[in-house]
Amino acid sequence: GDDLLVLGIETSCDDTAAAVVRSNGDILGQVVSSQADLLAQFGGVAPKMAEEAHAKVIDQVVQQALEEANVKEGDLSAVAVTIGPGLSLCLRVGVSKARKIARNFCLPFVGVHHMEAHALVARLMEKDLQFPFLALLISGGHNLLILAHDLGHYVQLGTTIDDAVGEAYDKVARWLGLDIRKGGGPALEALALEGNADAIKFSIPMKQHKDCNFSYAGLKTQVRLSIQSHKINSAIPISSVNPQERSLRADIAASFQRVAVSHLEERCERAIEWALEIEPTIKCLVVSGGVASNKYVRARLDRLVGRNGLKLVCPPPSLCTDNGVMVAWTGLEHYRLGRFDDPPPADEPEDTV
């Protein structure tokens, strides 16, 4: 029948996630186990360590999602898993698990592109979001502006030529001595609320490039130089500096954030222009990926999109950051159009992926 149930598994970066989604968009079970605090202690994502962390919790995360959903593997219509982009050691943990379930229960298997999942999850929450639409995807590893013509038909209008915006948030948070155990982005967003965004003059990247690409490496350097010239010692946590130094750090955070978002705005404005020329029926800009959970980012993009006569579609924060729901949903969208692999053969060895 039409009532599909799909399990989605995500292990591409530092979250181990699984979810069960129904074709009407109901999220039946959803579990995310984050390793951000573990990785923060070691100064970033160490692939081997991240792989071990995924391997340790994957069985439990999947089982818990199925239990929450009150669904047995045999009730599933298909199993979906992120196959890239991401750290291959990490991806493999999720792919092995998904193939094992698909093999044991003879289920169709859907390999999912992580960034496509960030974009398509918007269609789960916004039932009447039709193709074509424009999407800005902003995460730790990627920045993309995509014109989504149809399921599986995407045109890239812009990408990052160096660092993604989330990576810049993470680095600046570290340099400002923030507690990044729950991620650098949220910590920086919180500190920026205390600061004056006009205090320090950073310049907007790539103003002279009239395209839709992104660059955050230069802005990172501007911030690093400012931090040095103000003699900020990154090793001293923000919790132990005096009020004056705290307000200086907050000013840097707010000034960085303002310019980082101005760059997003500027690229989006041009992308809207380009996209409407190609597809005049576009009505929505989807904004998704971890950085899209930032309230300041959402507010500014909402105003920009409004000025251009479009509607902003931004998933709730739990669906913007990495999660299993987006993978299950994207798998479901492909599955119902017949785009999936047959169940893996019963004699497939467990370590072939």
Nearest approach, Cβ of residue 14 and ligand KG4 (Å)? 8
Count of C-beta atoms within a 10 Å radius of residue 236: 11
Cα–Cα distance, 285 to 336 (Å, whole number):
25
Among ligand KG4, Zn ion, none, what binds residue 293 when CB lies within 5 to 8 Å by partner kind?
A: ligand KG4
The residues in 104-143 that bind ligand KG4, with binding defined as CB under 6 A, are: 139-141
Q: How far is CA 302 from CA 125, 228, 242, 287, 344, in A?
A: 17, 34, 36, 10, 44
Cα–Cα distance, 157 to 112 (Å, whole number):
21
Tell me whether the omega of the peptide bond preceding residue 132 falls within 30 degrees of 0, making it cis: yes
Nearest approach, Cβ of residue 117 and Zn ion (Å)? 8
Binding characters for Zn ion, 249-288, by CB under 5 A (x = yes) = ----------------------------------------
The residues in 161-180 that bind ligand KG4, with binding defined as CB under 6 A, are: 166-167, 169-170
Out of 5, 13, 31, 58, which residue is the one contacting ligand KG4 (CB under 6 A)? 13
Number of residues binding to ligand KG4, judged by CB under 6 A: 20
Contact between 139 and Zn ion per CB under 5 A: yes
- For ligand KG4, the closer of residues 16 and 321 by Cβ is 321
Nearest approach, Cβ of residue 175 and ligand KG4 (Å)? 14
Cα–Cα distance, 82 to 324 (Å, whole number):
9
Going by C-alpha positions, the residue among 144, 143, 117, 148 that lies closest to residue 132 is: 148
The residues in 286-305 that bind ligand KG4, with binding defined as CB under 6 A, are: 289-291, 293-294
- For ligand KG4, the closer of residues 113 and 246 by Cβ is 113
- The span of 62-70, 161-169, 202-210, 314-322 binding Zn ion (CB under 5 A) equals 314-322
Contact between 29 and ligand KG4 per CB under 6 A: no
- For ligand KG4, the closer of residues 56 and 174 by Cβ is 174
The residues in 321-350 that bind Zn ion, with binding defined as CB under 5 A, are: 322
By CB under 6 A, name the binding residues for ligand KG4. 13, 139-141, 166-167, 169-170, 183-186, 189, 289-291, 293-294, 321-322
Residues at the contact surface with Zn ion, assessed by CB under 5 A: 139, 322
